[in-house]
Amino acid sequence: MDPETESAVLEAVIALPALRAGAVVEVKVMSNRPAWQPSVATEELLATVVAAGESIGQEAGGAAASGAADTNLTGWLGIPTLDGLGPVGKGAHAVHEQTVAASLAERAALVAAIITTT
């Protein structure tokens, strides 16, 4: 959820000892999505999205969430960033992931409203 926790977790993983005699533990960070905290600019962007949703009769909102996504890369750099504008569904990125096809037009309308109000 924050850079301090990210550092603590990575340090703990890197410090893991081998459990068997002769074993070696080697840790390499192959990819990461740095932790970031929403900024005032991100909150302002969210307010714009909420207003865009209201303008077309849709309720939009948001909150910080744990996890990692490509949005971590821009958010960490201080660029106002939001995620979750895709279709309604469940099981994101899992084998059982599902999308509600009927939500595609509604989400497209929301994205169009966001683009035309910013």
- In the block, tokens 């850079």 appear at 3
pLDDT for position 36:
81
The ranges assigned to domains in the chain are 36-117
By the 10 Å C-beta count (0-12 exposed, 13-18 middle, 19+ buried), 101 is classed as exposed
Task: Walk along the chain (118 residues) in steps of 10 and give the mean pLDDT of each run.
Answer: 84 92 89 82 93 95 80 88 89 90 94 91
pLDDT for position 86:
87
pLDDT for position 3:
81
Nearest by Cα to 33 from 99, 97, 93: 93
Query: Top-level CATH class of 36-117?
Result: mainly alpha
pLDDT for position 109:
96
- In the block, tokens 């600019």 appear at 41
pLDDT for 90-105, tens place per residue? 998 889 999 999 999 9
Nearest by Cα to 35 from 64, 70, 6, 12: 6
pLDDT for position 76:
86
